[in-house]
Amino acid sequence: MKKRAGTTADKAVLNVWQREVGDLSSRNFAHRLAASEDLVLRLDIYKKLDKHRGCVNTVSFNADGDILVSGSDDRRVILWDWETEHIKLSFHSGHNNNVFQAKIMPYTDDRSIVTCAADGQVRHAQILERGVVETALLAKHQGQAHKLAIEPGSPHIFYTCGEDGLVQHFDLRNRRATQLFTCQPIADRRNYMPVVHLNAIAIDPRNPNLFAVAGSDEYTRVYDIRMYKWDASTEFGRPTDYFCPSHLIGDEKVGITGLSFSDQSELLVSYNDEFIYLFMRDMGFGPNPDPSSRVSMGSDASEMRPMDDDEKTAPQVYKGHRNCETVKGVSFFGPGCEYVVSGSDCGRIFIWKKKGGELIRVMEADKHVVNCIEPHPHATVLASSGIETDIKIWTPKALERATLPTNIEQLKPKARSRSWMYPVASPLDLMLQLFSLRRQRNSPERNEESSAAGRDLLEFILTFNANSDSDDGGDSSNRDDLFG
């Protein structure tokens, strides 16, 4: 007789029974409940936090999860009590352009905030008594600085990356920036691509010595900070590991917009105009991106061995969303990183099961594009933002379980704007990128792509002109400074 498959309700009843008879601790019961697919299917908008006057580019919870910090094109940073929609504090960031990321440093009583922005600046804000805020410039990138990453559990250490390819290490105790390295492309591209323009950086929470960066080429590079000599006696620019799906190796049209590490050291990578991939530690190429020299990484970056053919498994892939227009993040969701979440150009949030890649949830979240999704550190709660000026808080409050819409289109390549892939901060950047595009157009094996390359050339020149004509003057503090 065929056994009936267990439903989510069956599992919930079983979990309650196990807790009551002592077979399941209260802590494990709460963990299982928070990871329940039933809760994910009941996510609905709980609050809309609406005070910014521009696109909200960053949302991040503090360690306790009771405060949400946001940053926007209006150059302001806001601290929210998200459960009550109350603004605890709003202040001008000190940046001269769009704020791309803002994070609260842990173990600082939520009084230390670090930011990076389109003006390339990296700044530190300290909240003093009676809500007085002091902001200070720590360092600057030559070009936009999209992301920063805080060393897990550290109130002092964080990293930044920028479109100049530079990775910097910061220690707030001495307020000093250390320029670690400038990310270099693989050898055969260095004559026309001097640096890899970086969009994303992430630190492995299980081993904070390891951090990953990615940007305008197909590779995610992992570095070990222990290999850096703080007296600058040796060069630090060589990765300990490279990650890339095998079919994207050599594809000069793709780039990476988002990275995330799970609590199990799994690496999540989101590609533009492509898919999201999940890599295990043993799926890297080692320090040499040549697939024929692929090695397996042990628990320590120094433990490497050649991989057998049986080990060369493909990464898990997540499909359905669209990532063409903006620099989007990607995240794990759930107490044990059971799910993968991403925004999309269609204005929706996509949620997949991490194991198997099944798409289980699609939620309307923005009239235009969803760029940021931030999971709560402890509860089944999400914060999302995009082109609209508000922040949406999602909790499992819906009475009915959601079903997938029937009109989801699978990702298909299309003509699109890729100006985010082409930083044009100077005439030198313009000439180098024009040379690269011309090389692609004239390549004999790419004749069928010449028209697309021509369009890219025109779009690129227009982008440069637009950037050259823009005026990013500063914005002084005003009466919109709010104190809770």
Tens digit of each residue's pLDDT, the chain (484 residues) = 444 445 555 555 555 545 555 555 555 545 556 678 999 999 999 999 999 999 999 999 999 999 999 999 999 999 999 999 999 999 999 999 999 999 999 999 999 999 999 999 999 999 998 889 999 999 999 999 999 999 999 999 999 999 999 999 999 999 889 999 999 988 777 777 889 999 999 999 999 999 999 999 999 999 999 988 776 656 677 899 999 999 999 898 999 999 999 999 999 999 998 999 999 999 999 988 865 555 544 444 444 445 454 445 899 999 999 988 888 999 999 999 999 999 999 999 999 999 999 999 999 999 999 999 999 999 999 999 999 999 999 999 999 999 988 777 654 433 444 444 545 445 555 555 555 445 444 444 444 444 555 555 555 555 545 444 444 444 444 434 443 4
- Write out the two tokens for 177: 């920036």
Please tell me the distance from the alpha carbon of residue 101 to that of residue 250, in angstroms, as a whole number: 31
Of the CATH numbers 3.40.50.300, 1.20.1250.20, 3.30.2350.10, 2.130.10.10, which one belongs to the domain with range 43-415? Answer: 2.130.10.10
Please tell me the distance from the alpha carbon of residue 337 to that of residue 275, in angstroms, as a whole number: 19
Global confidence as pTM: 0.79
Closest C-alpha to 167, from 100, 124, 208, 212 = 212
Whether residue 477 contacts residue 131, with contact meaning beta carbons closer than 8 Å, is answered with no
Please tell me the distance from the alpha carbon of residue 375 to that of residue 365, in angstroms, as a whole number: 15
Whether residue 72 contacts residue 371, with contact meaning beta carbons closer than 8 Å, is answered with no
Whether residue 191 contacts residue 173, with contact meaning beta carbons closer than 8 Å, is answered with no
Helix, strand, coil shares of the chain, percent, nearest 5, are 20, 35, 45
Whether residue 391 contacts residue 56, with contact meaning beta carbons closer than 8 Å, is answered with yes
Please tell me the distance from the alpha carbon of residue 254 to that of residue 106, in angstroms, as a whole number: 35
Closest C-alpha to 341, from 402, 395, 313, 382 = 382
Please tell me the distance from the alpha carbon of residue 126 to that of residue 286, in angstroms, as a whole number: 40
CA angle 364, 369, 372 (to 5 degrees): 90
Burial of residue 192 (number of CB atoms within 10 Å: 0-12, 13-18, 19+): middle
Closest C-alpha to 334, from 360, 315, 371 = 360
pLDDT of res. 31 = 55
Neighbours of 420 (CB within 10 A): 21
Find residue 80's DSSP bridge partners.
68, 87
Helix axes 8-20, 26-34, angle to 10 degrees: 170
